Amino acid sequence: MSDQLFQADTETAILSIILKNPEKVFELNNVKEYMFSSTANQLLYTTILNLSSQGLSPETTLIHDTLKAKNKDLQVGGKEYLSYLMTQDYSPENLREFERLLVESHKAKTLISIAGSIPSQIASAKEIDVIINQLRTTLDNLTEASSGDGTSILADVLKSSWDEMVERTKNPGIRGVTTGIKGIDIATSGVSGGELWTIAGRPGMGKTAWECNVAISQAKKKVPVLIFSLEMRKNPLAERMVAIETGVNSSNIRLGLLNQEEMDKIAEAMKKIKDLPLFIDSNYNANLSYMLSTIRRYKKMYDVKVVYLDYIQLLSERSADATNEIGRMTRALKLLANELDIGIVMLSQLSRNCEYREDKRPVLSDLRQSGNIEEDSDVVVGLYRDEVYNKETNHKGTLEQIILKQRSGPIGTVLTTFEGETNRINEK
């Protein structure tokens, strides 16, 4: 251990990785600037954090100019040190391990410093118990600095639960973020922090429409929302939202078949919704690492409460082992939802199994790689429109939202209306 205490390689690796992969800085939950051994590295890391928190990409030129404006550029070695860091070749996949090594090194050096100061403290102390208590507090803080310990005594959990119950009686209603669909809110209490939802259906059942309706409803209530659209570009997705907001036929919007009244209605609606806290990412090359980093960044910058992924299978199509890959993804998303206290909603395709049944309503086993998605999801909602299969149905314009799984509440069906021309979903 002593050979590793003052090595600079770990610090160099971390700084190099985040300079070349700026989004990675939001993955360093346990790293603090004082953990770096040199003033130069501390100042550089702090500058990167400050720029990133402002939504700016910490490019080397911007970092240098920022430090130069404060007459601190030479304290970090100027452009030469930044250029040196950019030439280093460390794998971003090892960032977590470098983080662990840095934190461990900081703890070890701090512990050595504490041990070295004990004799002098004892010599000058009037009461030895005071020294013991101070040491205990210091060591506890050092242990908790990055332990992430989730263990609690039952008494503390019960007290916390009681406080939540009392608070709910003062402010009755759903605990999570509303979906804008009353029946779903009553059954699920909304999308709560730490929850992973799956909205599943065959093509044409209204998964993206559900996402757009719910996301707009949440954003209107000043809830910051982030959407990953892996299938549809930003503009078509925005057009769907405009159709939902205005009631103008979405096909006419797409084809440009609009009269002046409709154009005026759209222009007015855009003015109302343009400032909503709703963010859309349509990077078709996005992978799980990119997605997790982006979620962390938008959580830190805008306090995003709900994240949508449209849709989960698109992330795994490049993998030869889709089942295990989706399992890894859903687990990572569930853990991130818990860590950041946000709701994550995945859209998912269903297998063709339902096509061969007389009753084509979805069941849990219809989920592709259902064991992975079902296991990690707190809530699974299957969407079904009978008119897709039965043109003579008596239930045209009806969207059945079937709660197939819920860890903390009932399952059952919520009936809503669905307007195919506008993608609007309303209470039935």
The packing angle between helices 95-124 and 128-144, to 10°, is 170
pTM: 0.68
CB atoms inside a 10 Å sphere around CB 62: 14
For 238-289, the pLDDT digits (tens) are 889 999 999 999 999 988 898 999 999 999 989 988 899 999 988 877 777 7
End-to-end CA distance of the chain: 66
Task: Give the start-to-end residue ranges of the domains of the chain.
Answer: 1-151, 182-427
Q: What pLDDT, on the 0 to 100 scale, is given for residue 161? A: 74
Q: How confident is the model at residue 168 (pLDDT cuts 50, 70, 90)?
A: low
* 3-state helix vs strand vs coil in the chain, percent to 5: 55, 15, 30
Q: How confident is the model at residue 148 (pLDDT cuts 50, 70, 90)?
A: very low
Q: How far is CA 244 from CA 233, 248, 266, 401, 416, in A?
A: 17, 8, 11, 18, 15
CATH number of 182-427: 3.40.50.300
Beta strands in 239-356 (DSSP E): 278-281, 306-310, 343-349
For 387-401, the pLDDT digits (tens) are 999 988 999 999 999
Average pLDDT score over residue span 96-100:
87
Smallest CA-to-CA distance from 191 within 412, 408, 372 is with 408
Q: What pLDDT, on the 0 to 100 scale, is given for residue 191? A: 94
Q: What pLDDT, on the 0 to 100 scale, is given for residue 2? A: 47
**Superfamily name and number for 1-151:** DNAb Helicase; Chain A (1.10.860.10)
Fold match flag (1-151 vs 182-427) = no
Phi, psi angle pair for 224, to nearest 5°: -65, 130
For 79-95, the pLDDT digits (tens) are 888 889 999 999 988 88
Say how far apart CA 71 and CA 68 lie, in whole Å.
Answer: 5
Region of poorest pLDDT, from 126-135, 272-281, 289-298: 126-135
